[in-house]
Amino acid sequence: MKEKLKELILDQFEESDLKLTDEITISSIGGFDSLTAFCILDAIEDNYGIKIESEDLNLNINQLLEKINE
Amino acid sequence: MYTFRRVQIKDIEFIYYLRSITSDNFLKKGDRSLNFSFLSNRIKNNELNYFCFESKTEIIGYYRFYLVNNIPEIGSWITNPQSNLFKKVLFDLEFKKKVFDDTNSDKIIFDVKIKNTSVWKHHENFGASRINENNNTYYYELNKNKFIENYERKIKRINSRSI
């Protein structure tokens, strides 16, 4: 599930060689902006049926996964 | 409640300001006085399909379209950095809907600089198809049926949030 979440987030960025660690804060990834944020929120809702808030993108991958699984 | 109105002369300075402060380096702000005279002349002559999206308390942004061989080409999308992300996306969706309704066209075309990744990713997520590219630019077509497929669902999703 974690790898799927990472893939979903990586899809919104250009760099194909970008690697996400479990500790990286999503909003700190280079190129992140408000449109990226919307696309990630939208993709999470599409894939998990869960609505998260834009502030949740200040979490890291592990924390976001916990939030989705709550 | 958000509505569209045509750009007026009073908007020109604000548009210039938004272009000056945007982190998007792909929208050129140009020369201030040339910009003013270009836009004001076309506003006076009613030659522009250039629109402001706003509420009673806030301007969300500006967007325009031209007709190229009777096909609407949209562009110059710029938003107020103080508006939240959901309002920006709502603006883009409602503007595309307006262009389809106003022109009765079955497609919209536009281009995005390749380096402007979040913008073209956004458009692709909303159903735009890349039809051409060169070294700097991707060219897109948005089919009306494809757009309408997504529109209601996305609007409902945005409206479910406190914007």
Instruction: Say whether residue B88 is in contact with chain A using an 8 A CB cutoff.
Output: yes
Query: Tell me, what's the pLDDT at A16?
Result: 64
Residue B71 contacts A where some CB pair is shorter than 8 Å:
no
Task: Tell me if A38 and B157 make a contact (CB, 8 A cut-off).
Answer: no
Radius of gyration of chain B (CA): 16
Gap between the Cα atoms of A51 and B135, Å rounded = 38
Name the more confident of B31 and B160.
B160
The domain in which residue B16 lies consists of 3-159
**Residue (of B96, B85, B83, B71) closest to B151 by Cα position:** B96
Token pair of B45, please? 């002559």
pLDDT single digits (tens) B68-92: 999 999 999 999 999 999 999 999 9
**Does residue B25 have a pLDDT over 50?**
no
**Domain residue spans of chain A:** 2-14+25-69
Structure tokens at A56: 């949740």
Q: State the Cα torsion B28-B29-B34-B35 to the nearest 10°.
A: 110
Band of residue B10 on the pLDDT scale cut at 50, 70, 90: very high
Nearest chain A CA: its distance from B37 CA (Å): 32
Contacts of B84 in chain A (CB under 8 A): 34, 54
**Chain B residues 23-52 with a CB less than 8 Å from chain A:** 23
Mutate to test the interface with A, among B27, B86, B121, B150 (most CBs of A within 10 A): B121
Query: How many CA within 13 A on the CB side of residue B106?
Result: 1
The pLDDT tens digits of the residues spanning A8-52 come to: 999 898 766 778 888 889 999 988 999 999 999 999 999 999 999
Number of domains present in the structure of chain B? 1
pTM value is 0.89
What ipTM score was computed for the predicted complex, to two decimals? Answer: 0.84
Spatial distance between the Cα atoms of A70 and B28, rounded to a whole number of angstroms: 45
CATH code, B106: 3.40.630.30
- Enumerate the residues of chain A whose CB falls inside 8 A of the CB of residue B160: 51
